[in-house]
Amino acid sequence: MSNEPYYPPLSPVSTGLRGCCPRCGRGRLFDGFLTTAKSCRSCGLDYSFFDSGDGPAVFIIIIVGFVVVALALVVEVAYQPPYWVHAALWLPLALILSLGLLRPAKGILLCQQYRTKAEEGRHSAS
């Protein structure tokens, strides 16, 4: 029998949203706002294999862009405000939504990467 502790499978969404370790669910996933920690302080999982790339940012750009443009079109058609009102409304909203959604999106993608054992592609010499 193995002496390794058993870690039940955890939901990548719940652990990613909370910024927790994808293996134990207790340790912290991030050291800074978007900086991934070196390893889990609770279970010791090494986070060096994580690589989210630009995936979270691309998803957030598409989602926030759709929401902001849709709202701007609705406000323009309904009220026809001057351009400075659009700038005062939509620039801060886009910034707040982007920054607010980026960390949870990165956490979810990193936890999904752990769950599916995703790794960098390799070429075989055949």
Contact 36, 22 (CB under 8 A): no
On whether the CB atoms of residues 60 and 67 are closer than 8 A, the answer is: no
Residue 125 lies in a domain: no
Side chain identity, residue 64 = V
Q: How confident is the model at residue 120 (pLDDT cuts 50, 70, 90)?
A: confident
Specify if 95 maps to a domain: yes
- The answer as to whether 123 is a domain residue is no
List pLDDT tens digits, range 37-90. 999 999 999 999 888 889 999 999 999 999 999 999 999 999 999 999 999 999
**pLDDT value at residue 1:** 53
4 lies in some domain: no
Q: Kindly report the average pLDDT of the chain as a whole number.
A: 92
Segments forming the whole domain that contains residue 92: 12-115
Give the single-character DSSP code of 43.
T
Domain membership of residue 122 (yes or no) is: no
* The total number of structural domains that make up the chain: 1
Q: Is the residue at 7 inside a domain?
A: no
The answer to whether residue 61 sits within a structural domain is yes
Does 6 map to a domain?
no
| pTM listed for this prediction | 0.87
Mean pLDDT of 95-124: 90
Q: Which pair of tokens denotes residue 119?
A: 């790794």
